[in-house]
Amino acid sequence: MYKKTGKQTIIFENPIYINAFSSVVGKKEGQGPLNNFFDIVNDDTTFGEKSWEKAEMAMQKQAFELALGKASMNTDTLDYIYAGDLLNQCIASSFAHRYTKIPYFGLYGACSTMIESLILASMAIDGGFARNTASIVSSHFCSAERQYRLPLEYGGQRPPSSQWTVTGSGCVILSLDSKKKITITAALTGYIEDLNITDANNMGAAMAPAAYNSLSQFFKDTSTLPSDYDLILTGDLGYYGSKILKKLFLENGIKLGDNYNDCGLMIFDRKKQDVHSGGSGCGCSASVLCSYVLKEMENGRYKNVLLAGTGALLSPISSLQGESIPGICHIVRLEVI
Amino acid sequence: MYKKTGKQTIIFENPIYINAFSSVVGKKEGQGPLNNFFDIVNDDTTFGEKSWEKAEMAMQKQAFELALGKASMNTDTLDYIYAGDLLNQCIASSFAHRYTKIPYFGLYGACSTMIESLILASMAIDGGFARNTASIVSSHFCSAERQYRLPLEYGGQRPPSSQWTVTGSGCVILSLDSKKKITITAALTGYIEDLNITDANNMGAAMAPAAYNSLSQFFKDTSTLPSDYDLILTGDLGYYGSKILKKLFLENGIKLGDNYNDCGLMIFDRKKQDVHSGGSGCGCSASVLCSYVLKEMENGRYKNVLLAGTGALLSPISSLQGESIPGICHIVRLEVI
């Protein structure tokens, strides 16, 4: 049985249940509009550790243990972990899970990694390879700044199109038969799109074409329109990238309405929090999904949600070598059943 | 239907056919014992590019296009690419595939990435999500040296336990119904094992316990013994790591016989090529698989092979911060049917 619909979309045979989820964020995220939805807001962004990298490992570990607890599971019950982050060689993830003894798939999809991990985990469950999985990612403002840009101590100026890496981690436990309310019913894996944008301070613009490709293909494959969903979310296009996405849809005769939003615009208050174009990072879409989105689905506010995780597949080295910024966008459809 | 056998092993419902494969390596690899098995040996390790990173991108692109050609496919026929490499943010892979328009899963499993990608691709095919997939990884001695250790120009001394990153890329096209001779029939996804080894110049030692865990679990899950296989290969334990692995098995009453070898020991002639403990890197197991192993399976020399890809999930930053080296090992079973 071939589970593809149209060109790129998968419709899962079984509903993949979201058994439990958790979100852990830093102080600045806790001061934003979604404050009440996060499980843990840690005012100490060091998480009690001696380096920013170790802080991120600790944060991811905390999110993982919290989700496992909420699902009333121990590590033996999990077939696989699908994890990733933005650090070189993805060390936040590998160190966070080094003592769990759970079979581990390391992923790198830049800021789209949470959705990549949900797609692969859903495939494993639907394909008969797993009963329970964990999808987890993280990003940390301080570890990301010094790796991608400048040490914090340097106090560099940021252009208006730059985005603020979210300090946050989100974890989702998927199960074959938890019979909870929220399920993943469909998914689309994006291809890489590179339209030769080279400004690493405007990643929203670099990712918007990939988001347009994936979303428009999903609508086509499933014969749906944006108005068929309660909520359509991109991961971290930010203010400028979201504007480009809406323009791309308009140019093709489709209006993204008030049901469209971007996790990077939801997690911070741009007027009060000095984050320029909005939030970004693996932890952005993950922590918004694992707080506001899933809790409001549980509360009955949303029933049918598209989450389109966006990623910019560059590195500081590729930018220094004059390369453009390849973008990608993966989608999952979340439904209350 | 739940496709797990024992604790960690998957037995695929359908044989997953290896439709085509390709290997592209550098000059030093071409001077080694496997010279005649590689598809392309490029004596210019820059691959005509201006940086080592761009060279690696070009090499991976070459391997991909070669495999696609051998399978008589165009990019439209592939459902997914599963790709990864060792560079920060995995840029060799994302840039190599940025114009293919094939749905893309970015992976990071350090030197185990080829096996990780084969497992995920096999799951997608067996689960009904794909008909044809590409698994591809790369590593390049020069891009790895300057990222992980020292710029080549520095001419640093290397301790005897250090390994030599293979300049190489391997690509495998898997298909649901190509009806070729070689298939993937089983797989085991490893968990992370960290026994507190901290010497980044002895990664074989850090990875050997993970290799022991995964291989012994695979034997247990499938009720087989090492003697049941024509060939058991680890990815890149090298001379010292392989010795530790054999010792760990002996301590547990099992002798790894002459059918055991390590890709890192096969790709170079340690006595003549000054590579210390042997080859390593994503490209090591990938290029040995996609040359000697699969060609000798086609030739009838081997019928039943276990390939255990080993990875050290460290980064230069984690080592500088005094962290130990988490290891991982994933396994696929290859059978001629």
Contacts of B194 in chain A (CB under 8 A): 98-99
Rounded to the nearest 10 degrees, the angle between the axes of helix B203-222 and helix B238-251 is: 40
Single-letter amino acid code for the residue at B58: A
For residues A305 and A330, what is the distance between their CA atoms, to the nearest angstrom? Answer: 14
Contacts of A2 in chain B (CB under 8 A): 128, 131
Read off the pLDDT of each residue in A295-322 and give the average, rounded to a whole number: 97
Cα distances (angstroms) measured from residue A266 to each of A32, A173, A239, A289, B331: 8, 23, 10, 11, 42
Instruction: Report the residue of A97, A191, A331 to disrupt the B interface, i.e. the one with the largest count of B CBs within 10 Å.
Output: A191
Read off the pLDDT of each residue in B40-59 and give the average, rounded to a whole number: 97
Instruction: Report the residue of B318, B319, B323, B329 to disrupt the A interface, i.e. the one with the largest count of A CBs within 10 Å.
Output: B318
* Cross-chain CB nearest to A189 (options B80, B87, B315): B80
Distance from the Cα of B233 to chain A's closest Cα (Å) equals 20
List Cβ neighbours of A218 (8 Å cut-off, separation of 6 or more): A8, A9, A186, A188, A224, A306, A331, A333
For residues B308 and B188, what is the distance between their CA atoms, to the nearest angstrom? Answer: 9
Contacts of B50 in chain A (CB under 8 A): 321
pLDDT tier at B175, thresholds 50, 70, 90 = very high
pLDDT digits (tens, 9 = 90+) for B278-298: 999 999 999 999 999 999 999
More reliable by pLDDT, B152 or A305: A305
- What is the pTM assigned to this prediction? 0.98
CA pseudo-torsion sign B111, B115, B116, B121: positive
pLDDT tier at A93, thresholds 50, 70, 90 = very high
Distance from the Cα of A83 to chain B's closest Cα (Å) equals 10
For residues B202 and B207, what is the distance between their CA atoms, to the nearest angstrom? Answer: 9
Nearest to B240 by CA among B270, B278, B198, B210: B278
For residues A303 and A3, what is the distance between their CA atoms, to the nearest angstrom? Answer: 23
Distance from the Cα of B218 to chain A's closest Cα (Å) equals 13
Distance from the Cα of A45 to chain B's closest Cα (Å) equals 18
* Cross-chain CB nearest to A105 (options B10, B100, B120): B120
- pLDDT at position B37 is 98
Contacts of A8 in chain B (CB under 8 A): 103
pLDDT tier at B272, thresholds 50, 70, 90 = very high
In the three-class reduction of DSSP (H, G, I as helix; E, B as strand; rest coil), residue A178 is classed as: coil
β partners of residue B29: none
Asked if A94's CB is within 8 angstroms of B313's CB, the reply is yes
C-alpha distance across the termini of chain B, in Å? 24
CA pseudo-torsion sign B125, B129, B130, B136: negative
- pLDDT at position B141 is 97
Asked if B103's CB is within 8 angstroms of A8's CB, the reply is yes
Asked if B3's CB is within 8 angstroms of A127's CB, the reply is yes
Rounded to the nearest 10 degrees, the angle between the axes of helix A238-251 and helix A203-222 is: 40
Low-confidence winner among A59-68, B128-137, B151-160 (lowest mean pLDDT) = B151-160
Distance from the Cα of B108 to chain A's closest Cα (Å) equals 5
For residues A104 and B182, what is the distance between their CA atoms, to the nearest angstrom? Answer: 26
Nearest to B166 by CA among B242, B236, B244, B94: B236
For residues A95 and A79, what is the distance between their CA atoms, to the nearest angstrom? Answer: 19
* Cross-chain CB nearest to A190 (options B86, B103, B188): B103
* Cross-chain CB nearest to A2 (options B4, B128, B191): B128
Asked if A99's CB is within 8 angstroms of B189's CB, the reply is no
Rounded to the nearest 5°, which phi and psi values hold at A329?
Answer: -150, 120
Single-letter amino acid code for the residue at B222: T
Instruction: Report the residue of A10, A88, A221, A310 to disrupt the B interface, i.e. the one with the largest count of B CBs within 10 Å.
Output: A88
Q: What is the DSSP string of A92-137?
A: HHHHHTTTS--BEEEE-BTBTHHHHHHHHHHHHHHTTS-SEEEEEE
- pLDDT at position A157 is 87
- pLDDT at position A200 is 84
For residues B93 and A98, what is the distance between their CA atoms, to the nearest angstrom? Answer: 25
Tokens of A71: 């699902």
* Cross-chain CB nearest to A194 (options B4, B88, B98): B98
Nearest to B98 by CA among B81, B111, B115: B81
Averaged confidence pLDDT in chain A: 96
- pLDDT at position A155 is 86
Contacts of B83 in chain A (CB under 8 A): none
pLDDT tier at A1, thresholds 50, 70, 90 = confident
- pLDDT at position A5 is 95
- pLDDT at position A150 is 86
Cα distances (angstroms) measured from residue A213 to each of A8, A217, A308, A330, B269: 11, 6, 11, 10, 48
By the 8 A CB rule, do B70 and B21 touch?
A: yes
Low-confidence winner among A126-135, A222-231, B79-88, B198-207 (lowest mean pLDDT) = B198-207
Per-residue pLDDT for A193 more than 80?
yes
Neighbours of A258 (CB within 10 A): 6
For residues A314 and A268, what is the distance between their CA atoms, to the nearest angstrom? Answer: 24
Asked if A91's CB is within 8 angstroms of B86's CB, the reply is no
Contacts of A216 in chain B (CB under 8 A): none
Contacts of A193 in chain B (CB under 8 A): 98
Task: State the complex-level ipTM.
Answer: 0.98
Asked if A4's CB is within 8 angstroms of B79's CB, the reply is yes
Nearest to A217 by CA among A10, A5, A7: A7
Neighbours of B243 (CB within 10 A): 16
pLDDT tier at B155, thresholds 50, 70, 90 = confident
Contacts of B126 in chain A (CB under 8 A): 127
By the 8 A CB rule, do B163 and B14 touch?
A: no
| Residue written as token pair 């009333």 | A72
* Cross-chain CB nearest to B191 (options A10, A86, A100): A100
CA A12 to the chain's CA centroid: 20
* Chain B residue nearest residue A131, CA to CA: B2
Tell me the H-state helices in B199-281: 203-222, 238-251, 263-266, 270-273
Asked if A51's CB is within 8 angstroms of B321's CB, the reply is yes
CA A233 to the chain's CA centroid: 10
Read off the pLDDT of each residue in A15-32 and give the average, rounded to a whole number: 98
* Chain B residue nearest residue A51, CA to CA: B321
Nearest to B93 by CA among B286, B248, B272, B296: B286
pLDDT digits (tens, 9 = 90+) for A262-298: 999 999 999 999 999 999 999 999 999 999 999 999 9
* Chain B residue nearest residue A101, CA to CA: B191
| Residue written as token pair 């640093």 | B156
What percentage of chain A reaches a pLDDT higher than 90? Answer: 93
By the 8 A CB rule, do B284 and B85 touch?
A: no
- pLDDT at position A179 is 81
CA pseudo-torsion sign A282, A287, A290, A295: negative
pLDDT tier at B322, thresholds 50, 70, 90 = very high
Contacts of A10 in chain B (CB under 8 A): 129
Averaged confidence pLDDT in chain B: 96
C-alpha distance across the termini of chain A, in Å? 24
